[in-house]
């Protein structure tokens, strides 16, 4: 006899053109958690790859494009970033690592994904401070406050983490975001107010209209643009 709850779920999803997997509660949990484990693993891998490319003076665009052309790997979700964030990945990674006790099962890759991301955040801060020193620039403008593009979600935002680290290093740091109010941070409401030479950092890809505004600032103030990807 089919359980009542399963019958309700079958009825709920019958209109979707998708494969349905009927499984036990533990397996259902692990499907969700491991999907949200693989994705930050992939993001962490490409960030580590970007650090290696930078250290080796390679061409990041060429290397990652070449690797992504392998059909077994692909280019989707294969873009470097200052770090990954959001609400789902950190939470589910913690839950995955709570499925076992230390010493019961060895998961060296899964257990170190968060640490790899923390290293990427610190590496990005060091990269920015190095550029500031080499170019004799005193200010940083982080473009994009949310944890990814096209959202106003600030939960576990790499931008805010990097902002705080830069402030601790006494770097004159500002944030600009068209979708988010940033009362608690040094924010820029109007890009036209940028008049001094600045290191402009794109935290993630932005729309064409905003990029055109930034290009004007770069020209008029002799500022420098840094993109992690």
What is the rounded average pLDDT for all residues in the chain? 94
Select from 3.40.50.720, 3.30.420.480, 3.40.50.300, 3.40.1410.10 the CATH code of 23-100+108-226.
3.40.50.720
Domain ranges (residues) in the chain: 23-100+108-226
| pLDDT the model gives residue 2 | 66
User: Can you tell me the mean pLDDT for 93-104?
Assistant: 90
Question: What are the contacts of 216-222 at 24+ separation with CB within 8 A?
Answer: 217/191, 221/194, 221/195, 221/196, 221/197, 222/197
User: Can you tell me the mean pLDDT for 28-50?
Assistant: 97
Q: Is the pLDDT of residue 219 over 60?
A: yes
* Cα–Cα dist 132/187, whole Å: 19
pTM: 0.92
User: Can you tell me the mean pLDDT for 97-107?
Assistant: 89
Active-site residues, by number, are 88
């Amino acid at each position: 006899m089919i359980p009542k709850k399963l019958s309700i779920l079958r009825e709920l999803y019958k209109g979707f053109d998708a494969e349905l997997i009927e499984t036990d509660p533990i397996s259902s949990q692990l499907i969700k958690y491991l999907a949200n484990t693989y994705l930050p693993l992939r993001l962490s891998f490409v960030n580590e790859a970007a650090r290696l490319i930078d250290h080796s003076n390679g061409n990041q665009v060429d290397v990652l494009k070449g690797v992504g052309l392998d059909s077994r790997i692909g280019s989707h979700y294969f873009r470097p970033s200052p770090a990954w964030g959001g609400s789902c990945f950190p939470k589910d990674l913690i839950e995955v690592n709570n499925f076992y006790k230390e010493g019961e099962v060895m998961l060296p890759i899964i257990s170190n994904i968060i640490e790899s991301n923390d290293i990427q955040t610190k590496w990005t801060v060091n990269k920015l401070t190095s550029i500031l020193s080499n170019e004799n620039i005193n200010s940083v403008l982080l473009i994009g406050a949310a944890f990814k593009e096209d959202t106003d979600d600030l939960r576990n935002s790499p931008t805010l983490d990097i902002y705080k680290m830069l402030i601790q290093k006494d770097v004159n740091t500002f944030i600009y975001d068209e979708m988010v109010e940033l009362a608690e941070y040094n924010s820029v409401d109007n890009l036209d107010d940028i008049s001094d030479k600045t290191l402009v950092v794109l935290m993630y890809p932005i729309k064409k209209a905003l990029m055109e505004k930034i290009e004007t600032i770069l020209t008029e103030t002799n500022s420098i643009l840094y993109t992690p990807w």
